[in-house]
Structure 1
Amino acid sequence: MSVTLNHTGITVGDLDRSIALFSDLFEFELVSRAPRDPDLISRVIGVPGARVEIAYMRNASGGTVELLAYSGPDERQAFAPRACDLGSLHLGFNVDIDAALAKASKHGLEPMGEVIVIDAGPNQGARIAYLRNPEGLVLELIQAP
């Protein structure tokens, strides 16, 4: 069996703001945006009363993100672990780091630490920075050496 990555799904609070972030900062294009059947979503995720609108976005390299904005059930929780906490995830993007950092604040992204140069491994010599948006999403910016 051949296995390939289909998409990365991210639960967001503000779908419009998240679409703008991925469009402006990472050059993703909106492929589709629509609500889903609440009964079907509730059954697939195992949460009664789930209501969601989903936007699919794709960039030129073929990367696809699925942005999910739930409006139900009412008792949803925020999840913003530190990068070292179990269950923490991040997305890494190859960018011009200075240009991306210049745009980051208009999207509510805040640095989690410093911009550093990697000293070993497959990204040796690259500059990287970790950023977090107000909803807790962690993004890694990577600029090749």
Structure 2
Amino acid sequence: MLRFHQLVLPILFSLSWGVSVPTPPIAKAEEGFSVSSINVKSESEISVDSIGITVSDMDKSLRFYTEVISFQKISDTEVWGNSYDRLQGIFGVRMRVVKLRLGDEFLELTEYLTPRGKPIPIDSRSNDRWFQHIAIAVSDMDKAYAILRQFKVQYASTAPQTIPSSNKVAAGIQAFYFKDPDGHNLELIFFPEGKGDRKWQNLGKSSSIFLGIDHTAIVIGDTNRSLRFYRDLLGLRLVGESQNFGIEQEYLNHVFGARLQISGLRSSSGMGIEFLNYLTPGDGRPFPADAQANDLLHWQTTLIVKDILAIAQKLRSEGTKMISTDVIGIPNQSLGFKRGFLIRDPDGHALRIIER
């Protein structure tokens, strides 16, 4: 028998769960919940700007993201030099950096021409601590899923999934996990009328199938510890929580016995950040201690701040692990910002703090 428990704060924003389905029709899920974006005001002077990933072949990745998911390329830059070595924490970097846009949100792809990094571990699972994804809102799950099948993308979920009407909060929301050519996890998410951020319903009236990025999700080991970092230290706002479990959740994440505590956070603007804390199973592996920004498992969430020196000092005083050597000035603002630095959160996920 399917079980579902849900703990909800006053404001919720999105959802992720599990289902079983025949293809191509989308099956019915029996439970679920995960948080994503809604318009929430924050007192923090910090906002989510973009999500970045390291890729092995820029041209191949560009074909995937622009032809399959309809991202648009807005900039293409090649950089090298001491400032970038110090920013990335790697000697002798030469990077090709391409910024893509889907709706109002941005994805940044970086190929390291030198030095090359390591591939994503072939046996990676969704409960490993280095797991991160972006959730791409769609106007029609059947049409979006058909496009993925047409391009023969790699599955990460068993099949797309729908929350049934018995779940009043999440009814009608659909989701599916898949992977890009390098193995980065991506999610399609559909919000019916009255669910999620209202902007997805408004955008869904257009002819576009792929609408924008609703949130990024990261696997964590301790919810309270991550809240102390993201909420209490960085100033993001907790807007929703839930616990998800059952066979559909297992099929979504492709993890047997999955039971997750999910927490959603928001800044004053930009996409949401979602914690995925696997209560069971407990065999998720920690973030590799030797991971670097040129490794393909590298994701970075870019946050914009108004006083970068003040927040850098605050983070250092709390013992935050630094990737960059210091706050680094960017020559000619070639990466779209004046200065910035990279850090790791308590689980090893990278964040880039920037000032424009």
TM-score (norm 1): 0.87
Q: Which residue does 1:102 correspond to in 2? A: 313
Displacement of 1:141 after TM fit?
Answer: 0.9
Identity rate of aligned residues, in percent? Answer: 29
- How far off its partner does 1:15 sit? 0.7
User: Could you report, residue by residue, the CA deviation over 1:4-47 in whole angstroms, capped at 9, with x for unpaired residues?
Assistant: 11100011111112122222343321111121124332110111
Query: Quick check: 1:79–1:136 contact (8 Å CA) kept in 2?
Result: yes
Distance 2:247 2:319 in 1: 34
Deviates more, 1:7-16 or 1:75-84: 75-84
Match of 2:297 among 78, 87, 96: 87
Determine whether 1:61 maps to 2:269. Answer: yes
Hey, what's the Cα distance between the residues in 2 that align with 1:108 and 1:38? Answer: 38
In 1, distance between residues paired with 2:319 and 2:261? 22
The amino acid of 1:138's aligned partner reads A
Q: Which runs of 5+ in 1 are unaligned?
A: none
Give yes or no for contact 2:245–2:258 (8 Å, CA) kept in 1. Answer: no
Structure 2 residue aligned with 1:75, among 268, 283, 295? 283
Give the match for residue 37 of structure 1: 245
Report the Cα distance in structure 1 between the residues aligned to 2:278 and 2:317, rounded to whole angstroms.
Answer: 24
Per the alignment, in what secondary structure is the counterpart of residue 260 of structure 2? strand
The 2-side partners of 1:26 and 1:3 are apart by: 28
Is 1:48 the counterpart of 2:256? The answer is yes
The amino acid that maps onto 1:135 is D
* Partner SS for 2:213: coil
Equivalent residue letter for 1:23? R
1:118 is aligned to: 330
Q: How far 1:137 sits from its partner (Å)?
A: 1.2
SS at match of 1:142: strand
Distance 2:314 2:246 in 1: 36
Report which of the two structures shows the higher radius of gyration computed on alpha carbons: 2
Q: Matched residues in 1 for 2:239 and 2:339: separation?
A: 31
Mapped contact 1:107–1:133 kept (Cα < 8 A): no
* Contact 2:344 2:350 (8 Å CA) reproduced: yes
The structural deviation recorded for 1:106 is 5.6
Shift of 1:135: 1.3
Instruction: State the distance in 2 between where 1:36 and 1:122 align.
Output: 39
> CA 1:122–1:94 in 2, change beyond 3 Å: closer, same or farther?
same
RMSD: 1.9
Partner of 1:9: 217
> Contact between 2:225 and 2:346, CA under 8 Å: does it hold in 1?
no
In structure 2, runs of 5+ residues without a counterpart are 1-207
Partner of 1:130: 342
The alignment partner of 1:6 has SS state of strand
Partner of 2:351: 139
Shift of 1:76: 1.1
Kindly provide the amino acid, as one letter, of the partner of residue 15 in structure 1. Answer: T
Structure 2 distance, partners of 1:107, 1:39, is: 40
In the other structure, the counterpart of 1:26 is 234
Q: Which stretch shows the higher mean deviation, 19-28 or 130-139?
A: 19-28
Separation of aligned partners in 1, 2:317 and 2:248: 36
